């Protein structure tokens, strides 16, 4: 999957001209790449296009124009682009009430050892970014990688037969959700994307 380069970034005035046209398309793309796992975990699966959009929106909202600062944003989001045989996602841990959320984020310490991608009979651990880990609570936004123990074709075949799922088995949060339908096809496209060396 291609990485984002500085040449891909539009100048402010260009982005403002096309934003109203492109924004609904990217919102739709993000919706088809969303998976709720139980009531409190949401995975937003990322690819080059969704991350490019996030860079453009970040530069716009923060009015970033310094070339080094732009490169920093590009580098940050490029870290989230999946490598071959893996998926990547933004994981949101969601509780509507602030006090409940604060308590839950403390109860969910160790979640990184209790989240799995199951493909057929194989299960692989979801990999968290250790830089986001603290000793007293988990962050409500996590950037995660999901190693896929199957080819793109096998992934889709398993998904279409209801045999691909994300599973959480934390003592304080147990949930699972199948990856199927539109989402399975989108993720198969990601797995089938060639990796482009930079």
How far is residue 189 from each of residues 3, 17, 95, measured CA to CA in Å? 16, 29, 31
Do 189 and 96 share a structural domain? yes
What are 25-63's pLDDT values in tens digits? 999 999 999 999 999 999 999 999 999 999 999 999 999
Instruction: Please give the biggest Cα pair distance in the chain.
Output: 51
Could you tell me what percent of the chain has a pLDDT over 90? 87
Do 106 and 20 share a structural domain? no
Domain count, the chain: 2
Query: 1 pLDDT band (50/70/90 cuts)?
Result: confident
Whole domain around residue 27: which residue ranges? Answer: 1-32+48-81
pLDDT of residue 76: 92
What are 54-65's pLDDT values in tens digits? 999 999 999 999
pLDDT at residue 101 greater than cutoff 60:
yes
pLDDT at residue 197 greater than cutoff 50:
no
Query: 132 pLDDT band (50/70/90 cuts)?
Result: confident
Q: Please tell me which residue, 132 or 102, carries the higher pLDDT value.
A: 102
pLDDT of residue 84: 87
Do 99 and 10 share a structural domain? no
On the CB side of 108, CA atoms within 13 Å amount to 26
Do 197 and 104 share a structural domain? yes
Do 115 and 193 share a structural domain? yes
Do 112 and 73 share a structural domain? no
Q: Decide: 78 and 3 in contact? Cβ < 8 Å.
A: yes
Do 186 and 96 share a structural domain? yes
Do 106 and 69 share a structural domain? no
Q: Decide: 176 and 165 in contact? Cβ < 8 Å.
A: yes
pLDDT of residue 196: 40
Could you tell me what percent of the chain has a pLDDT over 70? 97
Do 118 and 191 share a structural domain? yes
């Amino acid at each position: 999957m291609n990485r984002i380069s500085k040449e891909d970034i539009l100048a402010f005035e260009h982005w403002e001209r096309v934003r109203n046209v492109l924004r609904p398309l990217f919102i739709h793309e993000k919706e088809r790449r969303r998976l709720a796992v139980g009531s409190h975990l949401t995975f937003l699966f990322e690819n080059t296009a969704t991350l490019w959009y996030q860079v453009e929106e970040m530069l716009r909202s923060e009015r970033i124009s310094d070339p080094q600062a732009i490169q920093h944003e590009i580098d940050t989001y490029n870290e989230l682009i999946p490598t071959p045989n893996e998926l990547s996602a933004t994981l949101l841990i969601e509780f509507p009430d602030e006090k409940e959320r604060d308590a839950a984020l403390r109860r969910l310490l160790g979640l990184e050892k209790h989240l799995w991608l199951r493909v057929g009979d194989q299960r692989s651990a979801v990999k968290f970014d250790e830089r986001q880990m603290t000793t007293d609570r988990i962050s409500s936004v996590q950037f995660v990688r999901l190693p896929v123990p199957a080819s793109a074709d096998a992934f889709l075949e398993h998904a279409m037969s209801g045999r691909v799922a994300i599973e959480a088995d934390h003592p304080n949060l147990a949930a699972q959700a199948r990856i199927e339908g539109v989402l399975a096809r989108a993720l198969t496209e990601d797995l089938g994307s060639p990796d482009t060396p930079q």
